[in-house]
Amino acid sequence: MASTQIRRAGRIASGAALAVAAIAALVVLAPAALGWERYAIVSGSMTGTYDRGSLVYAEVVPVDDLQVGDVITYLPPPDAGPDHLVTHRIHSIERDDTGRRVFRTKGDANASADPWTFTLDEPTQARVRMGIPLAGYALAALSDVGTRVPWHRVLNARGEISARSAPEFEGLQRHLLEREGVKFDANGRLSLARYQWGG
C-alpha cells in the first residue's frame, strides 16, 4: 500500500515538474518565435512597471517608430556610466544639428531623467512589449553553470531513463550517465539513494 502511494506521489510530482517545464519553455520559446528579444531586469530603476527580477520581452522595431513613452533596452554611451544594457522609458526626443534624433530616457522609479543623451545608430531598436515578474531570476538561475542540472540526469521516480517520447536519446542518456560512473542494475534502473539524487 505504501509503495503504491509513493509511486502515485512520484507520478504526480513528475507530472507537476513536466507542467512547470512546459510553461517555462512556452514563456521562453513563444516570444522568440515572434522574433522578440528577452532581457532580465537587474536594477530597481523601473520598479512599479518592471520590478527587479522581471523578464521583459522586446520587439525589434524601426528606430523611426520610437516615440516618447516607449520603453527600450539599449546600451548607454561609453561616457554615461553604466556599462551594461539599460531598460528605461524614452523621456524626450530632440534633434541635433544634423537632424538626427537624440534620445533621453528615464527609469520610471527615478526622480529625474538620465543625465546622458544618445543617438541610435542602427536602423532598428528593441522596444519592450511585456514583462513577467520574477521570471528573470529563474532564467538567470538556469543559465548559471553552478545551478544547472544536466539533461541526462533527469530520470523518472523509479530511477529509470524516461525518454519514451524520444527513444533515440535513451542510449545516449545511459551512455552519458555510465561515463560519469553511474551503474545500472539488470532492469535498467539506478539507485537514486546511492547517487544522492533522492529527496
Per-residue pLDDT of the chain (199 residues), as tens digits, is 666 777 776 677 777 767 766 776 666 666 767 778 888 888 899 999 999 888 898 999 999 999 999 999 998 998 888 888 899 999 999 999 999 999 999 999 999 999 999 999 889 999 999 998 888 777 666 665 555 556 666 666 667 765 544 455 556 777 777 777 888 888 877 777 776 655 4
pTM tops 0.95: no
Q: Domain extents for the chain?
A: 1-33, 37-143, 149-199
| Residue 76 per-residue DSSP state | P
Q: Quote the pLDDT of residue 199.
A: 45
CA 150 → CA 105, 144, 182, distances in Å? 41, 12, 14
Q: Quote the pLDDT of residue 89.
A: 98
pLDDT in tens, 151-186: 666 666 667 765 544 455 556 777 777 777 888 888
User: What is d(CA 34, CA 13) in angstroms, rounded to the nearest whole number?
Assistant: 32
- The sign of the dihedral angle between the CA atoms of 16, 3, 198, 174 is negative
Q: Quote the pLDDT of residue 67.
A: 97
Look at the block and give the residue holding cell 520581452.
57
Look at the block and give the residue holding cell 531598436.
125
CB 95, CB 158: distance < 8 Å: no
Q: Quote the pLDDT of residue 164.
A: 47
Q: Quote the pLDDT of residue 39.
A: 83
The grid coordinates of residue 3 equal 509503495
Q: Which CATH superfamily is domain 37-143 in?
A: Umud Fragment, subunit A (2.10.109.10)
Side-chain half-sphere of 151: how many Cα atoms within 13 Å?
6
Q: How many residues does the chain have?
A: 199
